[in-house]
Amino acid sequence: MIRNVWAVLCKHIIENKKTNNTTLIESLEKLTIEIRPGFVSQRLNIDFPYSLATYWFNDDKVNSVTGTFRLRLITQSGHTTIPLEQAIDLAPHAFKKWYINFSAMGADGEGVYFFELHFKEDGKSRWNRVATIPFHVAYKVNPEATMLQSVDPGEDVKLPT
C-alpha cells in the first residue's frame, strides 16, 4: 500500500541532489493579507507563493503499487476547489517526493483554510484522506493599500501608494 509519510506547506524547498535529503523552509501556519476596507467581504484571488511538499512510501515489499492522489483546498467558508490529481506508481519499498507549486489562491474571508490530500489505489473505488494541512488566513485592513499583497507573518509591510 502507498502511504503519505508527510505533507508540508512551505515557502522554499531545497533538495540535496547528493543525499536526496530535503530541507523545507518557512512552513506556513498563518498568512496575512493587506486589503482596502471595501474588499473585506469579497472573494479574492491572492498571491500564494508557497509549495506543498509531499513524501510517499510503498510499504509492500514485493509488489509495485499504482494509484492517484488528489489535492483540494477548502476555504474557511467551506468552498472547495476543483481537485488536482496526480498518478502515483511506486516500486516495492520505494519512496517518492512530489512538490506542488502555487502562485495564487482564492480567499473568501478570514479563518482556517485546509489543503486535503486523498489517495485511491488503482482498481479500488474509495478515496482515503491521508493528510490535512491547515493554515490561518488573516486580513490586515489598510486604507492606503493599492493592491492585494501577501504579508509574511510577523512582518510589518506597507504597500506602495
Q: Is the pLDDT of residue 158 over 70?
A: no
Q: What is the 3-state secondary structure (H, E, C) of the chain?
A: CEEEEEEEEEEEEEECCCCCCEEEEEECCEEEEEECHHHCCCCEEEECCCEEEEEEEECCCCCCEEEEEEEEEECCCCCECCCEEEEEEECCCCEEEEEEECCEEEECCCEEEEEEEEEEECCCCCCEEEEEEEEEEEEEECCCCCCCEEECCCCCCCCCC
pLDDT at 146 (0 to 100): 60
pLDDT at 131 (0 to 100): 96
Residue 13 — very low, low, confident or very high, per pLDDT cuts 50/70/90?
Answer: very high
76-110 confidence digits (pLDDT tens): 999 998 899 999 999 999 999 999 999 989 888 89
107-155 confidence digits (pLDDT tens): 888 999 999 999 999 999 999 999 999 999 998 888 877 655 444 444 4
CA-CA distance, 84 to 60, in Å (whole number)?
A: 26
CA-CA distance, 48 to 105, in Å (whole number)?
A: 6
Write out the three cell numbers for 20: 536526496
Average predicted confidence (pLDDT) for the chain: 87
18-29 confidence digits (pLDDT tens): 999 999 999 999
Which domains occur in the chain, in start order? Answer: 2-151 (2.60.40.10)
CA-CA distance, 106 to 74, in Å (whole number)?
A: 10
Say which amino acid occupies 121.
Answer: E
User: By percentage, how much of the chain surpasses pLDDT 70?
Assistant: 90
pLDDT at 7 (0 to 100): 96
